[in-house]
Chain A
Amino acid sequence: MADHDLELRLYAWYRAEIDDNQSAPSELRTDLATLAEAAAVSRPRLLERWRFPVIVQLAPFALATAAVVVALVIGMNLLLPRPNDVGPSIGPSATPATPAPSPTPSVAPPPVLEGRLLFSRRSEARGTWTGMFTIATDGSDEQQVLQPGPDAGGRWSTSGQEIAVPTTLPDGRIGTAILAADGTVLRILEIPDPTLNVGCTVWSPDDTRLVCEAWDNGDPARRGIYAVSAADGSNLVRLTESPAGIGDFPGDVSIDGQLVFKRGPVDGGRGPLWLVPLAGGQPVQLTADSYDDPGRFNPDGQLIATSVRTQLAILGRDGIVVFEPNNQGRSDFGPDWSPDGDWIVFSSGVTGPFADLYISHPDGSARFVVKTTADNEIAVDWGRAP
């Protein structure tokens, strides 16, 4: 097909897809009228009248102002540099400005926390993946983990000794590589199936099994979540059958052997969370609402961390929201738990795809930035120190 033919098809596709005669949703005009009216009256009224997302987006200004006031009160010690405070950030707890003891909790230095973070970094300026890295929770000791294949998020094993990442096999299919923390390839998992692509990153609590996103290029009906032996890729077991046009994306396995996963568009879009036993069984829909992340269990398996739009959400095992941590006017996503379950780590950005890693308690308190960079830090996973 010539470019010209394709261009004609594209014009026709958009004409059919988008009805230019259709008005924008009426609530947008209501929002616009409310915004203009409230702004014309007073700024405090603007804050009162706008619904939550707008308040959240205006919050950085209030927080930044508060940070300045706090800084003036505390004194010049705030001017001392911090090793991981390399750029501007918003919110008093996001800008702990001195390693010295402080009477204000929001400016205290970040605590030293167990474990190590694994994350992927993308340079949006260049439009390329920079790679996968590990870093201490205070932002120090960053090390690159060389990947033997495509740029994708990896996951620590429960023990913190190994990392599972997708890789490209000699025959072109997607498989799984198991790495040491320094990136050394320990083993490539065999796929006991001639046509299935099997990318595994989610470990079982005892590290004996890996949960995988799998698909067959010749048979869309085989798409779903599978589990394999973490030792060699054997004992392939199918856990879910993705409905036509839908993808199942594994999230995490609880201590009692339940897999949480997201069922949504194949391009990774939002979808409700489901549960299925790792040992096999009938999947059960956990949430009526849709989420962006497929979910991460806390260590005792009673809470699930996920996100929707700009907001983290901590769900109970019944799918009900327990916490919605304050995002301080930022876009928070991709949470994972600390090994002790007392903290969560997540990506957080303000505008554009330039997220940094942040840590807070699950209720959003004691929030601090791990490291500020110009790039996009995503797919973070908190493992035990190797």
Chain B
Amino acid sequence: MSDKRSAGVGSTAERAAAFARLADHHLDAAYHLAQAILRDPSEARDATHDALVQAFRKWSSLRDPALFERWFDRILVNICRNRLQHATRWRATDISTEVGLASGDHFGRAADDHEVLGDAIATLSPDHRMVVALRYYRDLQVDEIAARLGIPSGTVQSRLHYALKHLHRAIGAADAKGTV
């Protein structure tokens, strides 16, 4: 079956084979994106696995297989977001990010520039962490990010703005403590 055909057309075997072909082609990139968002290889593996299962279940709903990458990324980032939300559900955002952030509490004195930025990214909210990863890891433009997240471009711009502001504060706090 040609990949140009609708995902919902063909026998079960053909549909499964088409899905496997497209998913395999995109698998490495998907795993790397999950790593960029989740910053944990095992979490990234699990998220990618879950995305494969969900995507397969929804495969017949994809009208144009040419849009597979965008469609699959959207499933993946939603799963990553869920996992981030799940991981931080107990701790209030006010405690885990703003307070510690303003103080540079998360940053070790011996931390280098890479660690400081990594720690700062770790304090971003799930929404902010996703747009930052899509923008600066995937190098996607605002409208492409919006398509993957299913939100307006203006919201993406707003999230990027506040994410950068947040990172500035975090790095500034670390700088003030002489860690960079």
List the interface of chain A (C-beta within 8 A of B).
1, 3, 6-7, 9-11, 13-14, 16-18, 20, 22-25, 27-29, 31-33, 35-37, 39-40, 53-54, 57-58, 124, 127, 129, 149-153, 166, 168, 172-174, 197, 199, 213, 215-218, 220, 223, 244-245, 249, 265-270, 292-294, 309, 331, 333-334, 347, 349, 351-353, 376, 378-379
A18 touches B99 (CB 8 A): no
- Provide 10 A-B residue pairs closer than 8 Å at the C-beta atoms, listed in order of the A residue: A17-B35, A17-B118, A32-B20, A149-B94, A150-B95, A172-B99, A174-B95, A292-B86, A378-B89, A379-B90
List the interface of chain B (C-beta within 8 A of A).
12-13, 15-17, 19-20, 23-24, 27-28, 30-32, 35-36, 39-41, 45-46, 48-50, 52-54, 56-57, 78, 81-82, 85-96, 99-100, 102-109, 113-114, 117-118, 121-123, 127, 132-133, 135-137, 139, 164, 167-168, 171-172
CB distance from B32 to the nearest CB of A (A): 5
A197 touches B90 (CB 8 A): no
CB distance from B11 to the nearest CB of A (A): 8
Contact check: which of A40, A53, A153, A223 meets B50 at CB < 8 Å?
Answer: A53
A32 touches B168 (CB 8 A): no
A152 touches B45 (CB 8 A): no
Given the known interface contacts A24-B31, A174-B95, the answer about A10 and B117 at a Cβ–Cβ threshold of 8 Å is: yes
**A contact residues around B36 at 8 Å (CB):** 14, 17-18
A266 touches B106 (CB 8 A): yes
- Chain A's closest residue to B15 (CB) is A39
A334 touches B167 (CB 8 A): no
The A contact surface, by secondary structure, is mixed
**A contact residues around B93 at 8 Å (CB):** 129, 150-151
Given the known interface contacts A40-B12, A266-B106, the answer about A35 and B56 at a Cβ–Cβ threshold of 8 Å is: yes
- Chain B's closest residue to A54 (CB) is B53
